[in-house]
Chain A
Amino acid sequence: MKHNGAEILMNCLIEQKVDTVFGYPGGTVLDIYDALYKYSDKIKHYITSHEQGACHAADGYARATGKTGVVIATSGPGATNLVTGIATAYMDSVPLIAITGNVIAANLGRDSFQEIDITGVTMPITKHNYIVKNIDELADTIREAFYIANSGRKGPVLIDITKNIQVAITDYEFKEPKKYIAKTVKAEDVKNIIKIIQESKKPLIISGGGIISSEATANLIKFADLVDAPVTSTLLGLGGFPASSKRFLGMIGMHGTYASAKSYNEADLIIAIGMRFSDRVATNRDNFSKNKTIIHIDIDTAEINKNIPATSSLTADANEFFKTINPLLVKKDNKEWMEKISQFKLKDIKTDSIMAYKILTTIAKMTDDNQVITTDVGQHQMWTAQHYSFEKPRTLLTSGGLGTMGYGLGAAIGASIGKGERNILITGDGCFHMNLNELATAAKYNIPVIVFIMNNNTLGMVRQWQKMFYGCRYSQTTLDKKTDYVALAKAFGCEGLTIAKDEDIEPIIKKALSINGPVVIDCKIFIDDNVLPMVPSGKNFEDIITKY
């Protein structure tokens, strides 16, 4: 059947079972928005306040549901406003399709109004990108983009469609989407790994975001039982292994637990799965693998030996790895080691005095294990990672790799839409101010997002570093903003509440949970609460700071 390019885009989205997109209209996507108008019964479009918010929303939607996030923006500034959102998704391997319009092909390269070379701009932050200048290549390009975004190590793909292609007409025929099926792992490929595991006495598993994206949680639990090993997790891996398990040590790395640091130092074998030894995990790269046997499993072969050299490695999907290795493992018994681990866990510091901690534990107590938590970036993010007990995959949405302040609100909105459920955003007063314009979006669509602003009147994490390493010279981190969060929330059409003291915590959270719509809670916390423990950049796990 004959369709124009914009309609072919709609049909290709429908092929991929996309029913939700985020975006912002503009000059070079007028035809796409005209098609969205026509296809509005099949594809629901959410307009945000800013393209960055739309991109984070598509990202949050993808992380919470496992589906592909789709964002649409116009050329020029619309496209460049997506950049931080695309980079965030790229660093955390989130499947995302960004669709941008561009000026008509005849005007390309002439510095036309709102013309930008967005494929050039996004080359380093996408898995791949396209500019479509031939109508007959449009449908297959979109199909290929979805496949690339969802295959292997997932990630964002951008498709730039010039305006003349959106109106050009050609034949369109429905095609069943090509589904990515991860390669199975052969028994012989895990032979050496099994041998190393059987010989080890003190194995430690590090679980990464790959566990969540390959849906390997059930098999990881089995694997940990067979190896009889404790499990620690990267930030993005949280939720991939149940936090309440006796095997779980909490997060590893710069703000990891005492138990994970201690266990790492004592372990003779590290089994790292679906993770990449970032500098926030391997705080001192040079010493990290000293006296250790390291088994590294990752879907991206370029991650093997990139940051930490592996003794033995396998390029594989985490779940496929477990499917092959689990039946071949002889159950181990590391009673002494597990005993030692439980002793380490007893020594984990308890930060009961911190108000953010009390708020987080109360949220956990008053919601169930399926509650999806979104964070921004900084102290509140680390407190959430340390103290919130994530039991299920896809319940923590956070910008790990890029560390994008301002990620949270858009992502929480997208996640709430994707799940059709309430989302809880933990943010700080610094992050909140970056993209608070999206409160308007939450109010417009009555999206049940509860925004907890851990308001300490400072950029807490930077202040902590200034305190510890820069002689308390608080350069530009004391915010002193005059924002009245309750009035601000109301002005946007949201509810506004305040937690000023411990006694407020329970009743205010209870009240927020009873409201069906967006709520902002100004949580007044102490300016000098620290995130501890901490292993400073470049230091070893022995140098862990537990008191300051």
Chain B
Amino acid sequence: MEKKHTISALVANRSGVLTRISGLFSRRGYNIESLSVCATEDDHLSRMTIVIIGDNYILEQIVKQLDKLIDVKKISLIEEFNAIYRELLLIKVSALPEIRTQIVEISNIYKAKIVDLSLNTITIENTGEPNKLDAFIKVLEPYGIMEMARTGVTALMRGDSCIKDLLDYNDLI
């Protein structure tokens, strides 16, 4: 059954790593829903959070094939019930002076922040789980979304578990 899955990976902070990973996806015909790269506590490593849609076969293959890459140091599947997911949204909405208060009110309900204001537009920042952002965007749609940018999901496991403690592909051979 096709489902959304989130994969978290620690990868070498080196040029070409993103190409290796995205190349692997296109080569093997896997689809990426979102991919975000960020710094970690270790300068030599970056964290990639990849959201894919696929069945269990595809998921197993993606994890194993990614793990095989020399630059992928650790990899784990993020289980929804045991993780914190966040995504950042910047959204610019058309807002003539007479409807500004409505948009501010909506933003307050969603705990979003107004970060810019012009004569005809409002730009809002919002953070949260992706479905919260989906809902927020839906409510703003009737006002006219001029442009928006979503960072893609980033996630960490809850509790004591750390990705660093996991076994790597190379530990198996």
- Chain A residues at the B interface, C-beta cutoff of 8 Å: 119-120, 123-124, 127-128, 131, 148, 151-153, 182-183, 299-302, 305-306, 315, 317
A299 adjacent to B173 (CB under 8 Å): yes
Q: What 7 new A-B contacts, CB under 8 Å, besides A301-B169, A302-B61?
A: A127-B70, A128-B70, A151-B173, A183-B172, A299-B173, A300-B68, A301-B172
Report how far A317 CA is from B172 CA in the complex, Å: 10
A120 adjacent to B61 (CB under 8 Å): no
Nearest-neighbour CB distance to chain B for A308, whole angstroms, equals 12
Most buried by A among B68, B70, B173: B173
Report how far A151 CA is from B170 CA in the complex, Å: 9
- For chain B, residues 16 to 61, give those with C-beta under 8 angstroms from any C-beta of chain A: 16, 19-20, 23-24, 27, 57, 60-61
Closest to B71 in A: A128
Residues of chain A with a CB closer than 8 A to B71's CB: 128
Nearest-neighbour CB distance to chain B for A546, whole angstroms, equals 35
Q: 4 closest A-B pairs (Cβ-Cβ)?
A: A152-B173, A302-B64, A128-B70, A315-B172
A124 adjacent to B23 (CB under 8 Å): yes
Nearest-neighbour CB distance to chain B for A149, whole angstroms, equals 11
B61 adjacent to A306 (CB under 8 Å): yes
- For chain B, residues 51 to 98, give those with C-beta under 8 angstroms from any C-beta of chain A: 57, 60-61, 64-65, 67-71
Nearest-neighbour CB distance to chain B for A96, whole angstroms, equals 16
B173's partner among A128, A131, A317 (CB-CB below 8 A) is: A317
A302 adjacent to B68 (CB under 8 Å): yes
- What 1/0 mask marks residues of chain B from 141 to 163 whose CB sits below 8 Å from any chain A CB? 00000000000000000000000
Report if A119-B16 is in contact (Cβ < 8 Å); known contacts: A299-B173, A302-B61: yes
Report how far A195 CA is from B47 CA in the complex, Å: 42
B70 adjacent to A301 (CB under 8 Å): no
Most buried by B among A182, A301, A306: A301
Report how far A247 CA is from B42 CA in the complex, Å: 55
B60's partner among A127, A131, A148, A305 (CB-CB below 8 A) is: A305
Report how far A98 CA is from B106 CA in the complex, Å: 60
B23 adjacent to A152 (CB under 8 Å): no
Nearest-neighbour CB distance to chain B for A282, whole angstroms, equals 15
Residues of chain A with a CB closer than 8 A to B70's CB: 127-128, 148
Report how far A182 CA is from B27 CA in the complex, Å: 29
Nearest-neighbour CB distance to chain B for A488, whole angstroms, equals 40
Report if A305-B57 is in contact (Cβ < 8 Å); known contacts: A120-B19, A124-B27: yes
Report how far A131 CA is from B27 CA in the complex, Å: 22
Residues of chain B with a CB closer than 8 A to A127's CB: 70
Report how far A127 CA is from B72 CA in the complex, Å: 12
Report how far A275 CA is from B68 CA in the complex, Å: 17
Residues of chain B with a CB closer than 8 A to A317's CB: 173
Report how far A127 CA is from B64 CA in the complex, Å: 14
Report how far A47 CA is from B43 CA in the complex, Å: 43
A183 adjacent to B19 (CB under 8 Å): no
Residues of chain B with a CB closer than 8 A to A124's CB: 23-24, 27
B173 adjacent to A315 (CB under 8 Å): yes
Residues of chain A with a CB closer than 8 A to B24's CB: 124
Report how far A119 CA is from B57 CA in the complex, Å: 30
Report how far A124 CA is from B68 CA in the complex, Å: 12
Report how far A153 CA is from B170 CA in the complex, Å: 11
Report how far A299 CA is from B61 CA in the complex, Å: 15
Report how far A120 CA is from B173 CA in the complex, Å: 27
A302's partner among B16, B27, B57, B65 (CB-CB below 8 A) is: B65
The 24 listed contacts between A and B (C-beta, < 8 Å) are A119-B16, A120-B16, A120-B19, A123-B23, A124-B23, A124-B27, A127-B70, A128-B69, A128-B70, A131-B16, A151-B173, A152-B170, A153-B173, A182-B173, A183-B173, A300-B68, A301-B64, A301-B67, A301-B169, A302-B64, A302-B67, A305-B57, A305-B60, A306-B64
Residues of chain B with a CB closer than 8 A to A305's CB: 57, 60
Closest to A306 in B: B61
Nearest-neighbour CB distance to chain B for A326, whole angstroms, equals 20
A123 adjacent to B19 (CB under 8 Å): yes
Report how far A317 CA is from B70 CA in the complex, Å: 19
Residues of chain A with a CB closer than 8 A to B23's CB: 123-124
Report how far A151 CA is from B68 CA in the complex, Å: 12
Report how far A315 CA is from B171 CA in the complex, Å: 11
B64 adjacent to A123 (CB under 8 Å): no
Report how far A220 CA is from B143 CA in the complex, Å: 72
Residues of chain B with a CB closer than 8 A to A119's CB: 16
Residues of chain A with a CB closer than 8 A to B20's CB: 123
- What 1/0 mask marks residues of chain B from 116 to 131 whose CB sits below 8 Å from any chain A CB? 0000000000000000
Report how far A151 CA is from B173 CA in the complex, Å: 8
Residues of chain A with a CB closer than 8 A to B169's CB: 301
Closest to B70 in A: A128
Residues of chain A with a CB closer than 8 A to B19's CB: 120, 123
Nearest-neighbour CB distance to chain B for A305, whole angstroms, equals 6
Residues of chain A with a CB closer than 8 A to B57's CB: 305
Report how far A305 CA is from B57 CA in the complex, Å: 8
Closest to B65 in A: A302
Closest to B63 in A: A302
Closest to A152 in B: B173
Nearest-neighbour CB distance to chain B for A100, whole angstroms, equals 15
Nearest-neighbour CB distance to chain A for B104, whole angstroms, equals 47
Residues of chain B with a CB closer than 8 A to A128's CB: 69-71
Closest to A128 in B: B70
